[in-house]
Structure 1
Amino acid sequence: MSLLNSIDRDHVLTAMETWDAAGGANYMLVRGGVSTHVLMHHGREYDAAAIAGIAHGLATGRTLTPADIPGGGAGASKHLVRLGFDIRDDSPPAPQRVPGTRSSTPRAPRATTTRATTSRPRVAASDRVDKLCPTCFLALPATGICDNCA
């Protein structure tokens, strides 16, 4: 029997009201919005595991942390979906096994240093700033002496 079986839909709705009253949106900002399982309700977004933990506290008197929930955010999401809530899963896709490899765990792609794979946009040589004045941060002329600071 799962810890979350004591939660019903009314507990979750009350947990969302509690979350909103306590400034739960600020919690998401402090955490950097890193929740991978997001409960969506009436245009608002909630951390699914946190809401499930609060709902458990309303149902049983013992609030759960996301670490206490079996399966974490994914476990909370499954239970919330069973109760009729919408969940958005922002988890990164699981790495897929490449056929013909010996290893049972996929390897990370090798980092390459070719220009085609760099993430920085290309800048024309005429648009590059070679040196900046350390005082005013304007581009230095060919003389190397800042016209603004000299």
Structure 2
Amino acid sequence: MSLLNSIDRDHVLTAIETWDTAGGGNYMLVRGGVSTHVLLHLGREYDAAAIAGIAHGLATGRTLTPADIPGGSEGASKALTRLGFEIRDDSPPGASKSRLPTANKRTGTPRPTRTSRAASPSTPRPRPAASDKPDVLCPRCFIAVPATGICDTCD
């Protein structure tokens, strides 16, 4: 059972309202980037994974990060589509899902995977700095809590 099965349409609509009220910028700091899957609602665009994570927090009390969502932003998109929301996939053309190498039928050894020059092991991928990722979210408004531990919005 997927973690996102606990959310319903009302949770998502409340998450969208929370996003709009807070301006959305704080959520992007928590997520560490922008999703390639966009939730379209009433002429506005939202990060699908962030909205799904917030909706999960409303449903269960535990907000999900992209790493927590099975399938990442694509998994969040599937859950939101299941609830009747429109999703736009902004993945770059030609981007494919990563697959595990299949075994060679004769020898049983894994086949080597193809890598492009951009994704070669000698070229490390840039990662967001640890200081850009707040660790704590306010349990009431789901905005990143500053180092003081007191939510600027709620307390």
| TM-score (norm. length: structure 2) | 0.57
Indicate the residue corresponding to 2:7 in structure 1. Answer: 7
Residue 79 (1) aligns with residue 79 (2): yes
User: What is the distance in 2 between the residues matched to 1:65 and 1:31?
Assistant: 6
Unmatched runs of 5 consecutive residues or more in structure 1? 97-102, 110-150
Indicate the residue corresponding to 1:21 in structure 2. Answer: 21
Residue 56 (1) aligns with residue 94 (2): no
| TM-score (norm. length: structure 1) | 0.59
1:54-133 to 2 correspondences below 5 Å:
54-94=54-94, 105-106=113-114, 108=116
Identity value in percent: 82
- C-alpha distance after superposition, 1:38-62 (max 9, x if no partner): 1010111111001000000111111
How far apart are residue 35 of structure 1 and its match?
2.0
User: What is the distance in 2 between the residues matched to 1:47 and 1:95?
Assistant: 19
Structure number with greater CO (CA < 8 Å, separation at least 6) is 2
Indicate the residue corresponding to 2:35 in structure 1. Answer: 35
State the aligned residue count: 104
Q: 1:44 to 1:91 in 2, by over 3 A?
A: same
User: What is the distance in 1 between the residues matched to 2:31 and 2:56?
Assistant: 21
Structure of higher CA gyration radius: 1
How far apart are residue 105 of structure 1 and its match?
4.5
Report the more deviating stretch, 50-59 or 19-28.
19-28
State the one-letter code of the partner of 1:65: T
How far apart are residue 28 of structure 1 and its match?
5.0
CA RMSD, 1 decimal: 2.8
